[in-house]
């Protein structure tokens, strides 16, 4: 929901091809603002390659240098609108707002959940094509149940919310089904959208339990002692240090690590969960290269981080976010092969966007069919995770290519070519 001002967010296009676009944001400050902005930028398929931010605790000024991933055109006007919606509203602006803007802000966090039901004949890459259509329509997938029947039909149940808050209207429903029909053609046989009742949601959204051994392996909080092997890039044990001697009011956090997609979001998410406020920060993250990040921060009470236990907890969390922001593994599910991907959820309930999109794209590129898919929430320790369970069937070749599947999905999620 945008603010009635053109000066809060300014996007400047590059003067020469290959250079990054520059996003300038000037708005009231709040804890976690950097995380919210990075999530929006990720949603539009952009990577932050450089950034600067500063705040006096009340007003902040942020610069993002961003580059697009892939050849898809960026919807810059819509991006600006979504960035505006993530910015807090200055009191002076709020008092001058009309009822439309105020109403939009009031309902922003109360999005209605809808159930999208459609059936179609199966084909390679089907689920990714559906996910791409929903993403372009700004429909957010909250949960999904996908199954394949013996006659080759796919039954899809998507629990979705609409960023535009228009899915209750006939025109928006018709637009969604029409876009799906255009993407799937004669493969699609039916499409229906309805409000998800609490009874249906409770029944269909119930997550199947994970074996204890899988929970232990996937949600282990121990940092790896050895560098990664194979053709995946080496993470080289990311460095996270704290220093309280350089500023009378702030703790300096310095990070040095290997770059990956959503790196800045992963860092900001951890700081947001710990209620850490950034007063000044600078970062540079080049694709597939090392990155350096300096952050002058304070606790929400305005004090430095001096408690050794708090310092250790935050440093360990940041190191984990830099080395293993998501978890990917393949396991047996009876005679079948199952891919599991775990995406950490913020305390506010949101997580990294487009994870399901990246998973389905990687599997499509690997030529791997999806027979069953489920998204559920699981709590491990003190953290909640969004777990994607992808049933890949009982093909003997799948069992022999586990490493290839894990590697392909991991590379896609991390942005490694």
Residues near 266 by beta carbon (within 8 Å), at least 6 away in sequence: 321, 322, 325, 352
21 conformational bin, left if phi > 0, alpha if psi -120 to 50, beta if neither: beta
Residues 245-249: what's their mean pLDDT?
95
Residues 234-243: what's their mean pLDDT?
80
Angle, helices 308-323 vs 263-273, to 10°: value is: 150
Is 60 exceeded by the pLDDT of residue 229? no
- Between the ranges 277-286, 307-316, 328-337, where is the mean pLDDT highest? 307-316
Is 80 exceeded by the pLDDT of residue 33? yes
Is 70 exceeded by the pLDDT of residue 3? no
With a pLDDT cut of 70, the percent of the chain lying above it is 85
Q: Please, what is the average pLDDT of the chain?
A: 86
Q: Which pLDDT value is given to residue 110?
A: 59
With tokens 């018709």, the residue in question is 174
- In this prediction, residue 227 has a pLDDT band, given cuts at 50, 70 and 90, of very low
Alpha-carbon span 59 to 384, nearest angstrom: 31
| DSSP per-residue codes, 148-172 | E-TTSEEEEEEEEEETTS-TTSHHH
Q: Which pLDDT value is given to residue 201?
A: 61
Q: Which pLDDT value is given to residue 101?
A: 42
Is 80 exceeded by the pLDDT of residue 238? yes
Residues near 320 by beta carbon (within 8 Å), at least 6 away in sequence: 221, 223
Alpha-carbon span 325 to 322, nearest angstrom: 6
Q: Which pLDDT value is given to residue 222?
A: 60
With a pLDDT cut of 90, the percent of the chain lying above it is 58
Residue 294 DSSP SS3:
strand
Alpha-carbon span 131 to 69, nearest angstrom: 17
Lowest mean pLDDT among 74-78, 145-149, 327-331: 145-149
- In this prediction, residue 225 has a pLDDT band, given cuts at 50, 70 and 90, of low
> What domains are defined for the chain?
9-107 (3.30.70.260), 111-142+149-206 (3.30.70.260), 207-224+324-417 (3.30.70), 239-323 (3.30.70.260)
**Other residues' Cβ atoms within 10 Å of the Cβ of residue 327:** 17
Q: Which pLDDT value is given to residue 308?
A: 96
């Amino acid at each position: 929901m945008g603010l009635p001002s053109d000066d809060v967010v300014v996007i400047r296009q590059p003067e020469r091809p290959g250079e990054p676009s520059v996003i300038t944001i000037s708005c009231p400050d709040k804890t976690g603002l950097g995380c919210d902005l990075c999530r929006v930028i990720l949603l539009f398929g952009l990577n932050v390659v450089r950034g600067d931010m500063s705040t006096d605790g009340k007003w902040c000024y942020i610069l993002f240098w961003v580059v697009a991933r892939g050849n898809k055109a960026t919807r810059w006007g819509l991006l600006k609108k979504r960035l505006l919606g993530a910015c807090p509203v200055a009191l002076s602006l709020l008092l001058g707002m009309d009822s439309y803007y105020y109403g939009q802000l009031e309902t922003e966090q109360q999005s209605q959940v809808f159930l999208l039901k459609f059936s179609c004949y199966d084909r390679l890459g089907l689920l990714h094509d559906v996910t791409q259509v929903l993403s372009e329509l700004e429909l957010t997938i909250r949960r999904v149940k996908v199954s394949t029947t013996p006659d080759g039909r796919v039954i899809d149940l998507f629990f979705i919310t609409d960023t535009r808050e228009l899915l209750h209207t006939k025109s928006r429903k018709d637009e969604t089904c029409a876009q799906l029909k255009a993407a799937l053609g004669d493969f699609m046989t039916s499409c229906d959208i309805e409000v998800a009742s609490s009874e249906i949601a409770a029944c269909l959204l119930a997550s199947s339990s994970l074996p204890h051994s899988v929970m232990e392996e996937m949600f282990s909080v121990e940092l790896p002692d050895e560098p990664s092997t194979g053709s995946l890039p080496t993470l080289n044990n990311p460095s996270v240090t704290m220093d309280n001697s350089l500023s009378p009011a702030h703790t300096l956090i310095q990070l040095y690590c290997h770059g990956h997609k959503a790196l800045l979001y992963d860092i900001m998410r951890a700081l947001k969960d710990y209620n850490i406020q950034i007063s000044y920060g600078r970062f540079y993250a080049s694709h597939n290269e090392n990155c350096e990040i300096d952050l002058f921060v304070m606790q929400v009470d305005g004090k430095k981080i001096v408690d050794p236990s708090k310092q250790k907890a935050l440093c360990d969390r940041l190191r984990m976010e830099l080395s293993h922001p998501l978890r990917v593994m393949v396991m047996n599910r009876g005679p079948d092969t199952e891919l599991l991907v775990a995406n950490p959820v913020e305390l506010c309930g949101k997580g990294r966007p487009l994870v399901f999109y990246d998973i389905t794209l990687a599997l499509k590129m690997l030529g791997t069919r999806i027979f069953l898919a489920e998204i559920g929430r699981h709590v491990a320790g003190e953290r909640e995770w969004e777990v994607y369970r992808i049933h890949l069937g009982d093909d003997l070749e799948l069992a022999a290519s586990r490493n290839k599947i894990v590697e392909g999905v991991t590379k896609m999620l991390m942005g490694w070519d």
